[in-house]
Structure 1
């Protein structure tokens, strides 16, 4: 039994794949709801509009479409960056198939669109979470191997100090003890928070305001702080002290980048924004509702050579930096099933923190 036109229409409307039909002049004559969502344009506004006004790629891509109409050859492009009409950048897979219009029999192009951004983000997050877990296990093993001999060195130095005949010689044992303590403290910081989180209901905006106060004091009010809060965000389960530390590490890095920028920034600005996001995937788990916290600065950006390993311990772009702040922040956020992401270029760096709001 052949499907009716109504059945075919309903099937197209319920596909997850975006479907567009262009005429020979590359004007949109049909788009299904999935295509509307991907291109962020309603069908009512998109019909009758040249395709390249909705989604811009390159002149070569435009010529390939025109050539496909003439030659009748199909083709597919993978992970292509598209600039939408609203200046949003997205990544798509798309296939182009020349077909005859079912009614007029005129040549048309059938374009199938599949969004790649979400899949690519999930893949990046899974890799990041796996890297973080591998790093934590490595650091734990390394810390155990370092702290045991350090304890022995410190104890031996204390015993030696008691046997020394001259007070002047104790200066050397004191150096040994102090350096052993310094290395122990460094290892403890590499391990991150060692206390079991004391979870409670916390208001994320109270935490952000506390962080703002600390940044204002540390920067001597040299940084403009903008706030854009969503007051409807419910309380979440977290350790308040650890959450302050996690967000403060990110904001402090931004503050230092703003104040140390060369040439100096005329109006160093830190912007904090909160929103809720529905049906959001973190790693391999989909959450019904998450809180999104964006920390944005107008500094020089993170050097490209550091971006791939930014959340690893001891990775820092500052000569006097320890490179532990972001690693600790990611570890704290991971403990409550959240994640930290970032994007950075000259003049703008955004750290996005996603925190599940359902009961853990």
Structure 2
């Protein structure tokens, strides 16, 4: 059986299909051409990017990156660099590759790390499976300890019963911690479907207000025209409760504590992950902001990792669970600190990006 030879995609088609941003830079540091992923990441069309000085477009805030670009024959690989794109920053992996056949010309690639959102999923699952197995083994003796404490309480006089109450309370606290560990290690994600984003937000706000001793002032700035998102209702409500509670706690010590939750449609945002053969677009954004002092710089780059917390008595599982739930919905979560200038207050922003339901 014979047939026509398959059409082999040319170099231009192959570059256009890349999920990471690619820029071709001339010896005088002018952008010659870009691929569609670069348009999405940088928020500008290829027509507007062509002819621009690459150092003015790629604002890393680190002079040494520009110096390396000026040295035409130097190769560079860097991970987790902060890149300023418009009014926000993203974390990117960068490569600068000289073209030996064309002296002075370079190929620059950028991939959005999404704060570790998709990089190293296999390693992340492996690291979480151990604690989940351990949690399962701990639960049985905990139940026995709690039962024994309850039996002891019946035989003790009133003066000593507070000790058994302390035991049961601590066992319950550890059991709750273990439940979170098991949820982190769960590989099967919850089913997703079309859902109303703002209904989920209002459910989270109602839950948070009902569980709070003091009134919470949360400003809502919603885009009412947003289409349905593709997600899981229970998972998204849990994500929002965690983010809003963290924002409330973060600004509690401020003279005028403020929490703002915003929704908007972000055109052109593409997540650099292949799902069923193509990148996943994440145009729906939820932003939770607070005017607190911000995250401790010592843990800022690790806040989505298990057992990392900037709170004095934090367990370090809340944001790790939030990241897992968002990732299970094919979404992405990131954070950014916006410092105030000339007396203006600073803000901490957490952004969740989700796919749109078809």
TM-score by length of 2: 0.68
User: 2:252 aligns to what SS in structure 1?
Assistant: helix
CA distance in 2: counterparts of 1:340 and 1:222, whole angstroms = 27
User: 2:295 aligns to what SS in structure 1?
Assistant: coil
* Equivalent residue for 2:24, pick from 11, 20, 24: 20
- For 1:122-137, list aligned pairs within 5 A: 122-123=118-119, 126-137=122-133
Structure 1 215/41 Cα, relative in aligned 2: closer, same or farther at 3 Å? Answer: same
Structure 1 125/357 Cα, relative in aligned 2: closer, same or farther at 3 Å? Answer: farther
* Equivalent residue for 1:92, pick from 85, 94, 102: 94
* Equivalent residue for 2:261, pick from 252, 267, 271: 271
CA distance in 2: counterparts of 1:8 and 1:199, whole angstroms = 37
* Aligned twin of 2:58: 55
Unmatched runs of 5 consecutive residues or more in structure 2: 1-8, 184-189, 340-345
* Equivalent residue for 1:110, pick from 105, 108, 115: 105
Whether 1:256 and 2:249 are equivalent positions in the alignment is yes
CA distance in 2: counterparts of 1:9 and 1:109, whole angstroms = 21
TM-score by length of 1: 0.67
What CA RMSD, in Å, does the superposition of the two structures yield over aligned residues?
Answer: 4.5
* Aligned twin of 1:182: 169
Aligned residue-pair number: 323
Structure 1 8/111 Cα, relative in aligned 2: closer, same or farther at 3 Å? Answer: farther
* Aligned twin of 1:349: 348
Larger radius of gyration: 1
Structure 1 19/306 Cα, relative in aligned 2: closer, same or farther at 3 Å? Answer: closer
CA distance in 1: counterparts of 2:85 and 2:168, whole angstroms = 59
Task: Give the helix-richer structure, 1 or 2.
Answer: 1
* Aligned twin of 1:4: none
- Structure number with greater CO (CA < 8 Å, separation at least 6) is 2
Whether 1:297 and 2:290 are equivalent positions in the alignment is yes
* Aligned twin of 1:33: 35
Please report how far the alpha carbon of residue 232 of structure 1 lies from its aligned counterpart in structure 2 after TM superposition: 0.2
Whether 1:171 and 2:159 are equivalent positions in the alignment is yes
Q: For each residue in 1:301-322, what CA deviation from the matched residue of structure 2 results, as whole angstroms up to 9, or x when unmatched?
A: 1223344265536946145x56
- For 1:136-175, list aligned pairs within 5 A: 136-158=132-154, 160-161=155-156, 169-172=157-160, 174-175=161-162
User: 1:317 aligns to what SS in structure 2?
Assistant: coil
